[in-house]
Amino acid sequence: GAVVSQHPSWVICKSGTSVKIECRSLDFQATTMFWYRQFPKQSLMLMATSNEGSKATYEQGVEKDKFLINHASLTLSTLTVTSAHPEDSSFYICSVSSLAGTDTQYFGPGTRLTVL
């Protein structure tokens, strides 16, 4: 499977500030990356799907202006939470896929965001 890293692993920020989370595919050409958020004891909620070099596709109910996604290369995608508020506090996880036939998703270790 693919090796995926996320940075930072944990971030605390003040309300109103913006936070950028990086997702890197270390050994895999990721044509597609996914961003999820997960609240405690709940399952993964898909936020958006991004394909390298094109705009992300956001799930219904996810504010694209608040959660900015950039997938500039086959190994890097970033999620920026703009003007963060306490309700944005969550566990954000990215995954990668080559979108080729039966390939599945490989997840990063996640980033815990706490907004004060």
Closest contact distance (angstroms) between CB of 22 and other proteins is 14
Asked if residue 25 binds other proteins (CB under 8 A), the reply is: no
The H or E element that residue 21 is part of is: strand 19-25
Q: Which of residues 37-66 bind other proteins (CB under 8 A)?
A: 41-44, 46, 49
- Asked whether the beta carbons of 30 and 96 are under 8 A apart, the reply is yes
Of 75 and 111, which has the nearer Cβ to other proteins? 111
Query: C-alpha angle 57/92/23, rounded to 5°?
Result: 75
Rounded to a whole number of angstroms, the distance between the first and last alpha carbons of the chain is 36
In contact, 3 and 26? CB cutoff 8 Å: yes
Q: In the window 59-98, what residues touch other proteins (CB under 8 A)?
A: 91, 93, 95, 97
Paired tokens of 78? 């970033």
Q: Which is nearer to other proteins, 12 or 83 (CB)?
A: 12
Q: Which residues bind other proteins (CB under 8 A)?
A: 1, 4, 6, 32, 41-44, 46, 49, 91, 93, 95, 97, 99, 102, 104-110, 112
